[in-house]
């Protein structure tokens, strides 16, 4: 899954709710690697509740691998609607 964050704003013409935040949990494993779990949380405006979605569950052995995992699953794009209002 690739999560696209639009700096907290909705893109024009989309009905998808904005991402409230991304949570990353790290856990050292017995073999020396690090378990990584990433989740996104969105606000469902119809049900008025926060909903968690799994983004990735994986193992890494270095910070470089951790950053690559984040880059491969999370993309942050600028909020173009704010730029157009200026």
Report pLDDT for 46: 84
Report pLDDT for 63: 93
Report pLDDT for 21: 82
Calpha distance 81→19 (Å, rounded): 16
Report pLDDT for 45: 82
Selection from 86, 85, 77 nearest residue 11 by Cα: 77
Report pLDDT for 16: 59
Domain ranges of the chain: 3-9+16-80
Calpha distance 56→8 (Å, rounded): 21
Report, in angstroms and rounded to the nearest whole number, the Rg of the chain calculated over CA atoms.
16
DSSP state of 62: S
Calpha distance 51→40 (Å, rounded): 8
Average pLDDT across each block of 10 residues of the chain; the chain has 86 residues. List them in order: 55 59 93 94 85 93 94 75 53
Q: Is the pTM of this model over 0.85?
A: no
Calpha distance 15→58 (Å, rounded): 30
């Amino acid at each position: 899954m690739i999560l696209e964050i639009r700096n907290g704003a909705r893109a024009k013409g989309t009905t998808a709710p904005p991402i409230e935040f991304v949570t990353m949990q790290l856990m050292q494993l017995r073999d020396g690697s690090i378990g990584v779990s990433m989740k996104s949380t969105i606000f469902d405006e119809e049900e008025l509740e926060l909903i968690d979605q799994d983004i990735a569950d994986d193992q890494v052995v270095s910070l470089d691998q951790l950053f690559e995992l984040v880059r491969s699953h999370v993309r942050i794009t600028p909020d173009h609607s704010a730029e157009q209002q200026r």
